[in-house]
Amino acid sequence: MNKSPEVEAFYSSYTWRRCRKTFLASKGGLCESCLAKGLITPAVHVHHKVRLTAETVHDPAVALSWDNLMALCEDCHQSQHNTRRWRCGPDGRIEIRR
């Protein structure tokens, strides 16, 4: 996924890093999507429900509002973005995750 220079700069900012850290802590460091299914999985991403773009990155209601954020594990974050990923299965074969 290509991000605009404005979005890249935002994700590197102190403001975002602090927001992300406190948001993850508020969720106990757990994936919200997995938790809703009764699974305990560490969250590694803070996902914007409304995607950040060059047009929305300067809008605090989109970029920094906790109402627009979700704590997600790697698998749930990838599924939010509908991207394929691969992994090495137990038998050593490559598996495509959808």
Q: What is the pLDDT of residues 30-72, one digit of tens each?
A: 999 999 999 999 999 999 999 899 999 999 999 999 999 999 9
Q: How many domains does the chain have?
A: 1
Q: Is the pLDDT of residue 22 over 90?
A: yes
Q: Is the pLDDT of residue 3 over 90?
A: no
Query: 69 exposed, middle or buried (CB, 10 Å; 0-12, 13-18, 19+)?
Result: buried
CA distance 46 to 62: 13
Please tell me the pTM assigned to this model. Answer: 0.78
pLDDT-derived band at 7, boundaries 50, 70, 90: very high
CA distance 73 to 44: 5
The parent domain of residue 65 ranges over 5-97
pLDDT-derived band at 97, boundaries 50, 70, 90: low
Q: Is the pLDDT of residue 87 over 60?
A: no
